[in-house]
């Protein structure tokens, strides 16, 4: 495996950024966050409550948009990918370029939409800065995770409709079905000690991981009863580091899976 | 210039190339023809490294291609379908390709932008590619293939989507570059075009080369005056 030349990656990223930056999708995405955050700050009551509402929007929307946009972009760029691969460019370089060229503008669109209203309205309580920072970082991490998942899936299916379907299926699983399944498990196995399995279940789902990381910042974990106490204890003992490492692994694993698929793929 | 030996490729269970042997001579134009699904595009993509062969080998000037990418700096490629990122302009696309090649072409020769003028693309260069017609995008596609004065030109159905004027411009360009020593590999399903352009012909059927040689030789052995009839004769013979 020959080394990736950063210069080549940077060139691909630069031009892809120009392309994606002019996309109406991205503009709409950033605008939505801008309007939603602004509205919640204006009418959502106190700063913390607004932040809690925004957290829910972020946890639902960032993965969905990253998944759909990532899948569609890769299918649309198929002929372009071919053209670039016919140049003296290595596959890993092009893959890195394509990935960063999409994850970066999506993350920036999200950050812009989220942070501009706060810059305008200000943050009421200094303790909320920390919350906002965690929210921003978590959103960026989720963008990276789901663009990578979208790429890994889209590269394994020639058929556009099937690829998109599978990607949305993964989003659906992680954002909606997963919690239901975990709850079902808890109900069925309620007589057993479930702390460890529950923490494992949380680490195995990037959205849950992000949610728990965020909720821990809100001082409402006490309201979450028994499991909340379990998490509190877990995060108190260096669990935060574990959670962040798990989120990083959630970015790395699909990126590497996608790179493998990209290397083997016939264009 | 290129020697292909026992090249095999299957997509899933479907075999596409089943032991292709072919020699492409430097300084000549080789046309790869055959019915749809014969493996023409796959063969071309394997030369470019876009598809990976399951077996066999490709030698470029006596050096076996092994997955390295630097040899592509010597090749100009015009894919069959011209679809580009929608929001980029043609000028940005060309700038990207120049940037990418700049890192490998140490002694960069002057770029060949003749086709931009010949196609009168100047006014279109700064419009987003999505707003250009299919034919215009195909012209941009052709420009990218010639841009870096390659030693080897690989064209997949080069005139599809071009109007007669543009098609003639492109053919004239191919002839001119051939006279200057360029090697060309092209696929086509238009026999008139092959007759007009090619020196050599490789007839591909079901993933095998059924005929390879000079156009004149094919016409002589089949005793037909036109290429279309010569190929028809060849196919009839295969079927018999």
Report the residue from B50, B71, B85 with minimal CB separation from A82: B50
The H-or-E segment that residue A58 falls in is helix A47-76
pLDDT digits (tens, 9 = 90+) for A4-17: 888 889 888 989 88
Number of domains, chain B = 1
* B104 confidence band (pLDDT: 50, 70, 90): low
Candidates B88, B132, B64, B172; CA nearest to A16 is B88
Residues in A closer than 8 angstroms to B87, CB to CB, are: 18-23
Give B10 to chain A, closest Cα distance, Å: 11
Find which of B47, B74, B85, B131 to mutate to test the A interface (most A CBs within 10 Å of its CB): B85
d(CA A222, CA A220): 5
Question: Is A89 touching B (CB cutoff 8 A)?
Answer: yes
Using CA coordinates, name the residue in chain A closest to B69.
A88
Rounded to an integer, the average pLDDT of A142-160 is 93
**Among A22, A86, A90, beta carbon nearest to B77:** A86
Binning pLDDT at 50, 70 and 90, where does residue B71 land? confident
Q: Cα(B124)–Cα(B114) distance, rounded to whole angstroms?
A: 15
Q: How far is B84 from chain A (nearest CA, A)?
A: 5
pLDDT tens digits, B145-179: 998 889 999 999 999 889 999 999 999 999 999 99
**Parent domain of B67:** 2-239
- What's the pLDDT score for residue A1? 45
Q: Residues B78-102: pLDDT tens digits?
A: 998 888 888 899 999 998 888 888 7
Task: Mark yes or no for CB contact B100/A18 under 8 Å.
Answer: no
Residue B107: which pLDDT band, with cuts at 50, 70 and 90? very low
CB nearest B50 (choices: A5, A7, A86): A86
Split at pLDDT 50, 70, 90, the class of B189 is confident
Per-residue pLDDT tens digits for A53-105: 888 899 999 999 999 999 999 999 888 999 999 988 899 999 999 999 999 99
Which of B69, B70, B84 lies closest to A80 in CB terms? B84
Q: Which residues of B touch A (CB under 8 A)?
A: 11, 45, 48-52, 68-73, 75, 77, 79, 81-88, 92-93, 95-97, 99-101, 103-104, 128, 144, 154
Question: Confidence band (pLDDT; 50, 70, 90) for A258?
Answer: very high
Alpha-carbon distance of A209 to A201, in angstroms, equals: 9
Confidence band for A219, pLDDT divided at 50, 70 and 90: low
Exposure b/e, A30-52, CB count within 10 A at least 16 = b: bebbbebbbebbeebeebbebbb
Within 8 A by CB and 6+ apart from B38, the residues are B204, B205, B206, B207
CATH code assigned at B210: 3.40.50.300
pLDDT for res A45: 67
A141 — pLDDT class (breaks 50, 70, 90) = very high
Distance from CA of B48 to the nearest CA of A (A): 6
Query: Does residue A79 belong to the interface with chain B, where contact is any CB pair within 8 Å?
Result: yes
Q: Which residues, in sequence order, are CB contacts of B202 under 8 Å at separation 6+?
A: B22, B30, B31, B32, B33, B209, B211, B212
Asked if B43 contacts B6 with a C-beta cutoff of 8 angstroms, the reply is no
Return the pLDDT at A148.
Answer: 95
Give the tokens for residue B186.
């092209």
Has residue B190 got a pLDDT over 50? yes
Tell me whether residues B73 and A88 touch, CB distance under 8 A.
yes
Among residues A82, A84, A86, the alpha carbon closest in space to that of B77 is found at A86
Q: How many CB pairs under 8 A join A and B?
A: 89
Q: Which residues of chain B make contact with A96, given a CB cutoff of 8 A?
A: none
CB contact under 8 A, A79 and B82: yes
Average pLDDT, stretch B105-132?
A: 82
Please tell me which of the candidates A5, A11, A79 has its beta carbon nearest to residue B81.
A79
Contact B49 A266 (CB under 8 A): no
Identify the residue with better confidence: B79 or A122.
Answer: B79
Neighbouring C-beta atoms of residue B110, cutoff 10 Å = 7
The confidence score (pLDDT) of residue B234 equals 80
Q: From the list B50, B85, B86, which residue is nearest A267 (CB)?
A: B50
Percent of chain B at pLDDT > 70 equals 96
Enter the ipTM: 0.86
- A2, A11, A85 ranked by CB distance to B99: nearest: A11
Q: For residue B85, which residues of chain A lie inside 8 Å, CB to CB? A: 15-16, 19, 76-77, 80
- The predicted structure's pLDDT at residue A223: 57
């Amino acid at each position: 495996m020959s080394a990736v030349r950063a210069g080549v990656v940077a060139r691909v990223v630069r031009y892809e950024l120009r392309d994606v930056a002019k996309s109406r999708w991205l503009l709409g995405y950033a605008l939505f966050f801008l309007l939603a955050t602004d509205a919640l700050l204006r009418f959502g009551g106190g700063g913390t409550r607004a932040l809690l509402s925004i957290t829910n929007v972020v946890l639902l929307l960032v993965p969905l948009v990253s998944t759909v946009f990532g899948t569609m972009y890769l299918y649309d760029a198929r002929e372009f990918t071919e053209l670039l691969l016919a140049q003296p460019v290595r596959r890993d370089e092009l893959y890195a370029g394509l990935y960063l060229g999409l994850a970066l503008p999506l993350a920036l669109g999200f950050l812009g939409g989220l942070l501009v209203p706060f810059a305008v309205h200000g943050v009421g309580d200094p303790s909320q800065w920390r919350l906002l920072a965690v929210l921003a970082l978590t959103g960026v991490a989720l963008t990276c995770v789901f663009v990578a998942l979208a790429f890994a899936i889209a590269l394994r299916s020639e058929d556009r409709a099937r690829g998109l379907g599978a990607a949305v299926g993964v989003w659906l699983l992680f954002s909606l079905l997963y919690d239901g399944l975990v709850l079902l498990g808890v109900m069925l196995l309620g007589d057993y000690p479930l702390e460890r399995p529950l923490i494992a279940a949380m680490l195995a789902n990037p959205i849950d991981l992000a949610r728990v990381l965020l909720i821990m910042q809100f001082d409402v974990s006490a309201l979450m009863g028994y499991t909340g106490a379990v998490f509190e204890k877990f995060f108190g003992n260096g669990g935060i580091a574990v959670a962040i490492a798990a989120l990083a692994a959630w970015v790395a694993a699909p990126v590497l899976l996608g790179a493998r698929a990209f290397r083997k793929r016939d264009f | 210039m290129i020697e292909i030996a026992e090249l095999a490729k299957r997509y899933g269970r479907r075999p596409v190339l089943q032991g292709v042997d072919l020699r492409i001579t430097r300084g000549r134009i080789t046309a790869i023809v055959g019915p749809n699904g014969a493996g023409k595009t796959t063969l071309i993509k394997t030369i470019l490294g876009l598809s990976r062969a399951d077996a066999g080998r490709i030698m470029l000037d006596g050096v076996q291609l092994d997955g390295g990418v630097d040899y592509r700096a010597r090749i100009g490629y015009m894919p069959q379908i011209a679809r580009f990122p929608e929001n980029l302009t043609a000028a940005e696309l060309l700038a990207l390709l120049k940037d990418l090649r700049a890192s490998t072409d140490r002694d960069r020769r002057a770029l060949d932008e003749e086709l931009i003028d010949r196609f009168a693309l100047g006014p279109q260069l700064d419009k987003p590619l999505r707003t250009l017609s299919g034919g215009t995008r195909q012209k941009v596609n052709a420009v990218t293939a010639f841009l870096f004065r390659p030693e080897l030109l690989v064209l997949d159905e080069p005139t599809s989507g071009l109007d007669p004027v543009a098609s003639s411009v492109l053919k004239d360009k191919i002839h001119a570059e051939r006279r200057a020593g360029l090697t060309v590999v092209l696929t086509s399903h238009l026999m008139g075009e092959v007759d007009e352009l090619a020196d050599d012909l490789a007839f591909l059927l079901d993933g095998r080369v059924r005929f390879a040689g000079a156009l004149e030789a094919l016409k002589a052995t089949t005793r037909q005056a036109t290429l279309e009839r010569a190929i028809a004769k060849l196919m009839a013979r295969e079927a018999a």
